Amino acid sequence: MRVMVVGATGLIGNALLRVWAGRGACVAAATYHCHPGTEFRQLDMRDEAAVRTLLSETDPEVVAVPAANPHVDYCELHPEETRRINVAGTLNVARACRERGARMIFFSSDYVFDGRKELYTESDAPSPINEYGRQKAETEAGVLASDPRNLVIRTSGAYGWQWEPKNFVLQLLAKLGSGQSLPVAADLRYNPTAAENLAAVLVELAAAQARGIYHVVGAEAIARYDFAVKTAQAFGLAASLLRPVSSAELQSPTPRPKSSALATGKVRAAVKTPLWGVEEGLRQMRETEAAWRVYAKRLPKTEKGSY
């Protein structure tokens, strides 16, 4: 399989790159900020001509797009700027894929839902309450309308080793490791998802030519504070530094769904790869730390804010 990963130095993108390469796929990798001469090609998705050129030169059968501006609060405060990346840029890739006959895989979010239900299935209509969710819902619709063979993956709270440590777990480890007290929302419930597990499931779905919408998340829904406690315990850090608070106390500019748990029956029926629970995901992360640090030395230096 010839594959292009757009956003290949990010958390999910790099996990996809490694899993696909490990299974013998011919993988091309693109990212927004990178240095010349590396295995990563530079791409600004906002430049439709550049997107077309890249796909023409690499000729992929499948194009996976985890690339985005994932900063929820920044999206809320700067909707027009971030829409140029998260919506218009992604749909540039969708059009280029359609023109070349390539299938596209788009990574969406649990934030397409409003949190009024305990559990959401793929057939539930999107009802976003924040700008990031609105961007994802709009892009989902555009990607699926572009080509019925395209695949939309809704995921939630992805975590794991990452060259630029943006995800919740790595931020948590850094702060607890330096002895900082940290308030964590106790009233937000979701499915934390290990990026390595997400990548393995996605690669299996792609091989089966899955299409439409699939929820691919961790096996259990948990409050954000409880997940933070389990993370601290898994890495031998002081959970006593964590302080449970309401999401309102955090004074974020972004409204968040109180419960965005996603049903996974559809994906469980489609793949053999099991979904990891919280403890397995954190254990796998702890056990692969040394190997990750060796691998990370190979990655190109990226500028802050890269995708």
DSSP state string for 217-261: --S--EEHHHHHHHHHHHTT--GGGEEEE-GGGGT-SS---SB--
pLDDT at 306: 39
**pTM of the predicted protein model:** 0.95
Q: Judge whether residue 139 has pLDDT over 60.
A: yes
pLDDT-derived band at 305 (thresholds 50, 70, 90) equals very low
Residue pointed to by tokens 């793949």: 271
- Where does the pLDDT of residue 292 fall: very low under 50, low under 70, confident under 90, or very high at 90 and above? very high
Lowest-confidence segment of 33-47, 61-75, 191-205 by average pLDDT: 33-47
Q: What is the mean pLDDT of residues 184-199?
A: 98
- Measured CA distances, 52 to 43, 98, 114, 117, 226 (Å): 11, 11, 35, 40, 45
Is 124 a residue whose pLDDT tops 50? yes
- How far is Cα 186 from Cα 57, in angstroms, rounded to an integer? 48
pLDDT band at 288 (very low <50, low <70, confident <90, very high): very high
When the pLDDT of each residue in the chain is averaged and rounded to a whole number, the result is 95
Q: Are 230 and 278 in contact (CB under 8 A)?
A: yes
Question: Coil, helix or strand for 111?
Answer: helix
Core vs surface per residue 206-245: b (16+ CB within 10 A) or e: beeebbebbbbbbbbbbbbbbbbbbbbebbebeeebbebe
Residue 152 has pLDDT above 50, yes or no: yes
Q: Shortest CA distance to 198 belongs to which of 176, 214, 216?
A: 216
Q: Model confidence over 164-183: pLDDT tens digits?
A: 899 999 999 999 999 999 99
Residue 261 near residue 191, CB atoms below 8 Å: yes
Region 179-194: what's the mean pLDDT? Answer: 98
Res 207: pLDDT:
97
Query: What value does the mean pLDDT take over residues 113-119?
Result: 96
Question: Across residues 261-286, what is the average pLDDT?
Answer: 98
Parallel, antiparallel, or unpaired: how do β-strands 222-223 and 189-190 relate? antiparallel
Instruction: Identify the pLDDT of residue 304.
Output: 45
Give the mean model confidence (pLDDT) for residues 124-152.
98
Chain Cα centroid distance, residue 65: 9
3-state secondary structure of 299: coil
Higher pLDDT: 33 or 41? It is: 41
